[in-house]
Chains A and B, each alone.
Chain A
Amino acid sequence: GDSVTQKQGQVTLSEDDFLFINCTYSTTTYPTLFWYVQYPGQGPQLLLKVTTANNKGISRGFEATYDKGTTSFHLQKASVQESDSAVYFCALVFHNQGKLIFGQGTKLSIKP
């Protein structure tokens, strides 16, 4: 069935390091892709949306890219800051559904 996999459970970086988080999905249709960020004690906040039409989204210094060929999409940021410490979730909505299917989440810790 439809699924999404986010293998990096935890990433620890220093300030100004490059961030790369990858998700892969399995489906017979082309989904719309989202990245959400969740801070402790809060609900997920929408960070980026990427559709098959644009293949890329940019927001707040983060960039998400959609690769239909490898059924993967990744989140990257050129230079992380301590304030970026949070849990990042990839999520998908498939063509004929409304529910979000979330990845397992990646906890990003930034050393000052």
Chain B
Amino acid sequence: GPKVLQIPSHQIIDMGQMVTLNCDPVSNHLYFYWYKQILGQQMEFLVNFYNGKVMEKSKLFKDQFSVERPDGSYFTLKIQPTALEDSAVYFCASSLGQVSYEQYFGPGTRLTVL
């Protein structure tokens, strides 16, 4: 199936520092998403993004979080500053359309905040 890539696969960072997670979505997809999964728990929606704008965000998407996709490059999730509770696996997903369109997920970036 369609492939979504994520870089890096694992990031270890000190609390308070900035981190940027990168996602290379499926090439013709228009909608982009970030989800958060704490070890052993369910996947939770953070934000979705379309046409250069955040369309919807959850309460987990704190003020310290931001997303962008400048000119068709990586879709990024930036956290500044990081907190201990940000430790999780972050999954990027993309889809061609909304609602009934399938979302395809990347392999995830494991973020460890010390």
Checking A43, A98, A101, A102 against B106 with a beta-carbon cut-off of 8 angstroms, the contacting residue is A43
- Assess whether B1 is in contact with A46, with CB atoms less than 8 Å apart: yes
Asked if B75 is at the interface of the complex by the 8 Å CB criterion, the answer is no
Contact string against B for A residues 90-107, beta-carbon threshold 8 Å, 1 for contact and 0 otherwise: 010111111111111100
Asked if A73 is at the interface of the complex by the 8 Å CB criterion, the answer is no
- Assess whether B104 is in contact with A99, with CB atoms less than 8 Å apart: no
- Assess whether B105 is in contact with A97, with CB atoms less than 8 Å apart: no
Distance, CA A91 to CA B102, complexed state (A): 11
Contacts of B27-77 to chain A: CB distance below 8 A: 31, 33, 35, 41-45, 48, 50, 55-56, 58
Residues from chain A with Cβ under 8 Å of B6 in the complex = 43
Residues from chain B with Cβ under 8 Å of A101 in the complex = 45
- Assess whether B1 is in contact with A43, with CB atoms less than 8 Å apart: no
With A97-B56, A98-B99, A99-B56: A46-B104 Cβ-Cβ less than 8 Å: yes
Distance, CA A102 to CA B45, complexed state (A): 9
Checking A44, A49, A95, A104 against B105 with a beta-carbon cut-off of 8 angstroms, the contacting residue is A44
Contacts of A61-112 to chain B: CB distance below 8 A: 89, 91, 93-105
**Size class of the contact patch on chain B:** 20 to 34
- B33, B41, B100, B108 pick with most chain A CB within 10 angstroms: B100
- Assess whether B107 is in contact with A42, with CB atoms less than 8 Å apart: yes
Contact string against A for B residues 90-109, beta-carbon threshold 8 Å, 1 for contact and 0 otherwise: 01010100111011111110
- Assess whether B99 is in contact with A93, with CB atoms less than 8 Å apart: yes
A selection of 15 A-B contacts at a CB cut-off of 8 Å is: A42-B107, A44-B105, A46-B1, A46-B102, A46-B103, A51-B100, A93-B99, A97-B99, A98-B33, A98-B56, A98-B95, A99-B48, A99-B56, A100-B33, A103-B42
Assuming A41-B107, A43-B108, A99-B58, what are 14 further A-B pairs, CB within 8 angstroms? A43-B6, A43-B93, A43-B107, A45-B105, A93-B100, A97-B56, A98-B50, A99-B33, A99-B45, A100-B33, A102-B43, A102-B44, A104-B42, A105-B43
